[in-house]
Structure 1
Amino acid sequence: MARKMLIDGEAELVPGVEQGMNFDFDLFIIGAGSGGVRAARFSSNYGAKVGICELPFHTISSETIGGVGGTCVIRGCVPKKILVYGASYGGELEDARNYGWELSEKVDFNWKKLLQKKTDEINRLNGIYKRLLSNAGAKLFEGEGKIVGPNEVEVTQLDGTKLSYSAKHILIATGSRAQRPNIPGQVNLLVLKYYCKMILLT
């Protein structure tokens, strides 16, 4: 069922859309990161028929893989914090000796175990985000979304199959990627930016 947009509390006709047209979805969202998932959940809860697509899940992103939850949850803030917290214990254990804690001379650290715990947490959060969408009634499509017309989205599934859906409204919520400026010292700038971000977030 086609719906009207609410503008300042009043129902308004959507420009450029013929009234009475039937669409597969009221809203289709390309990108299921934190922003896309929230938009899908809230829109569904208000009665809109919502479709959302995201690239298949992987802990490392590329042009062809991603995952529900997006950069922050899967490969940004959350895994970074887990690794930073894990790294901080070495110094704290050393300091503990000065506060009466008796520790053996050698404290072992298992890097593979920390990485596995990080991956386990990412998998858990990815599942939670998928359940949030399902519980809200939004339809999730795994694949690459592309706008192919004023009210049409094409989703290329994992096997290469292309599905086409019409939507009264389309939201692009794909986020962005860092760009390296073409200047001397570009790598150092990226390291500095990441270091400053860590200071701000931790």
Structure 2
Amino acid sequence: MARKIRNEGDSHYDFDLFVIGTGSGGVRAARLSANFGAKVGICELPFHPISSEVIVGVGGPCVIGGCVPEKILVYGAAFGGEGEMDARNYGWKVNEKVELNWKKLLQKKTDEIITLNGIYKCLLSNAGVKLSEGEGKVVGPNEVEVTQPDGTKLFYSAKHILIATGNRAHCPDIPGKELGITSDEALSLEELPKRAIVLGGGAARFLVCPVYS
């Protein structure tokens, strides 16, 4: 049973808590707060299977553009899984000659991301959290501005504001950076590159290597 934490003096706010960002931390904070009786709002950039600075979707960078898609591709690229049928589902042609259908593997990754995005939305909805799609910005001590995809601006007041935006991949400011891509694009290339140079030894870069190889 939810424990009511609202006070009468808080009624002039739209929300007790407003969260900017729907990654694992933001969603968890929003759901727990709502379960304890708080009125909670949350916002996130529009959804797209390939995340960027202006699109990502409910679930955050890890679910949409990081941990989850990386591990799906690593699992699929390893060939075998739980057997021949599993391999076929991840894009492998298992006949006399074993071949990888890269586009089918990418579609498998996209389908999983879309499913998880929907699950995260349901979790928020079931907890009674109000979701707004758009870019969130703190514009006052207790005020948040959400710019929707069509440019419309929404303004909400909240007793507490939680910034849970996490981080995202970016190219460092070095000569030739326009020739490179980030891990976001690397996990969604339409054609599998025959050769590639990976700069950096973080988890995302490390997982790209076995996928390409």
TM-score (norm 1): 0.76
Distance 1:50 1:91 in 2: 41
Distance 2:69 2:62 in 1: 8
Any conservation in 2 of the 1:2–1:22 contact (CA below 8 Å)? no
Aligned length: 176
Distance 1:109 1:128 in 2: 29
The 4+ residue runs of structure 1 with deviation greater than 6 A are 90-93, 186-189
Equivalences for 1:44-83 in 2 at 5 Å?
Answer: 44-83=34-73
Which of 104, 107, 112 does residue 116 from structure 1 map onto? 107
* Aligned-residue offset at 1:183: 7.2
Equivalences for 1:180-199 in 2 at 5 Å?
Answer: 190-194=199-203, 198=207
Equivalences for 1:75-114 in 2 at 5 Å?
Answer: 75-89=65-79, 105-114=96-105
Measured at CA, do residues 92 and 105 of structure 1 come closer, stay the same or move farther in structure 2, by a change above 3 Å?
Answer: farther
1:46 is matched by which residue type in structure 2? F
Q: Secondary structure at the match of 1:131?
A: helix
Any conservation in 2 of the 1:2–1:20 contact (CA below 8 Å)? no
2:200 is matched by which residue type in structure 1? V
* Aligned-residue offset at 1:87: 1.0
Q: Which runs of 5+ in 2 are unaligned?
A: 84-93, 181-196, 209-213
Measured at CA, do residues 90 and 147 of structure 1 come closer, stay the same or move farther in structure 2, by a change above 3 Å?
Answer: same
Match of 2:15 in 1: 25
Q: Secondary structure at the match of 1:89?
A: coil
Q: Which runs of 5+ in 1 are unaligned?
A: 5-18, 94-102
Any conservation in 2 of the 1:2–1:23 contact (CA below 8 Å)? no
CA root-mean-square deviation: 3.0
Percent of aligned pairs with the same amino acid? 71
Which of 159, 174, 184 does residue 168 from structure 1 map onto? 159
1:116 is matched by which residue type in structure 2? Q
* Aligned-residue offset at 1:32: 0.8
2:176 aligned with 1:151, yes or no?
Answer: no
TM-score (norm 2): 0.72
Measured at CA, do residues 52 and 91 of structure 1 come closer, stay the same or move farther in structure 2, by a change above 3 Å?
Answer: closer
2:123 aligned with 1:132, yes or no?
Answer: yes
**Higher CA-based Rg:** 1
